[in-house]
Amino acid sequence: MPEPLALRSAGKDVRIHLTPLDRVPPETRQAYVGLLDPAEASRHDRFKVEGARLEFLVGRALLRLRLTACRPEIAPTDWRFTSNAYGRPAIDWPSTGAEASPLFFNLSHTRGLVALAVAACEDIGVDVETIARGAPDADVARRYFTATEADWIDDAQELSERTERFFALWTLKEAYIKARGMGLALPLDGFGFDCSRRPPEIAFTQKIDDHASRWRLERRCIGDGHRLALAVPSALKASRYFETIPLVAGPREIRPRVCEAFA
């Protein structure tokens, strides 16, 4: 099903497609494998853990099919990809053999869920995480978060609240890093989040040349077991969420619950 024209032109929204892996019929997996290019197929075959293999496979199938929904003249198997110096993937238009258009994406997957963000501007980042395992030890927060953020996690009174606080920050950090497309070249202590606000707010130190007004952030609860964060330019005024099972069902528009701000 083609995407609405608003996205195929320079749309002002971002589309997030969600695929719960327990909704993917086993019999479709071979069809997904048939969509992969040789490099993707080789990577797929190297996965030793079945869950990780499935996350990768569904992510690539979802990506190829949704890109074709935006550009129907390009077959799902004909998309080719490249990456920048920091590893951010993008469409390799010359290798695809089609005229370039403003079409960008960001993928994330975790145990049980794949998320794909698609928009007409490059600086988009999405991250999904399962919260089933709970928050890691305190030293992980101290390593990856600012001191203020780590203290905020430690101040949680209950284990469940600690878990929610940790993954609120973790997903926001990942989403922003991915949106910038610079990986860990960005100093992790150069930016932090205030999750007592809804939507959450970002602030920067002198280590990063950026400004909070450039960004729109949001958090969503995907069922009881997953948390999602999105970082996009403030010019993208709206987000639309869809449940999409590649080659099976959707996209069906959904409205995931907004994660509550913390007191």
Q: Count of alpha carbons within 13 Å of 73, Cβ hemisphere only?
A: 7
Overall pTM surpassing 0.85 (yes/no): yes
Total domains in the fold of the chain:
1
| Inside any domain, residue 75 | yes
- For 2, which DSSP code? P
Query: pLDDT tens digits for 4-35?
Result: 433 443 468 999 999 999 999 999 999 999 99
The mean pLDDT value for 99-125 works out to 96
Q: What is the CATH number of the domain that holds 244?
A: 3.90.470.20
Tokens 């970002």 belong to 202
Res. 248: pLDDT tops 50: yes
| Inside any domain, residue 32 | yes
The mean pLDDT value for 164-179 works out to 96
Query: pLDDT tens digits for 122-166?
Result: 999 999 999 998 888 888 889 899 999 999 999 998 999 999 999
Tokens 């969600």 belong to 18
pLDDT at position 263, please? 62
Tokens 């997957």 belong to 109
Tell me the helices (H) and strands (E) count for the chain, helix number first.
Answer: 8, 13
pLDDT at position 8, please? 40
**Treating both helix axes as pointing N-terminal to C-terminal, what angle do 38-46 and 50-70 enclose, rounded to 10 degrees?**
160
| Inside any domain, residue 1 | no
Distance spanning both ends of the chain, measured CA to CA: 42
Tokens 């719960």 belong to 20
Specify the range with the lowest mean pLDDT, choosing from 113-122, 200-209, 211-220, 238-247: 200-209
**249-254: strand order across its sheet:** 104-110, 113-119, 13-20, 238-245, 249-254
pLDDT at position 11, please? 67
State what percent of residues in the chain have pLDDT above 90: 82
| Inside any domain, residue 158 | yes
| Inside any domain, residue 4 | no
At 113, is the secondary structure helix, strand, or coil?
A: strand
| Inside any domain, residue 166 | yes
| Inside any domain, residue 3 | no
Please give the Cα distance from 120 to 125 (Å, whole number): 13
| Inside any domain, residue 202 | yes
Q: Buried b vs exposed e over 2-24: b needs ≥16 C-beta within 10 Å?
A: ebeeebbeebebbbbbbbbbeeb
Its domain, for residue 94, covers 13-258
pLDDT at position 129, please? 98
The mean pLDDT value for 220-234 works out to 96
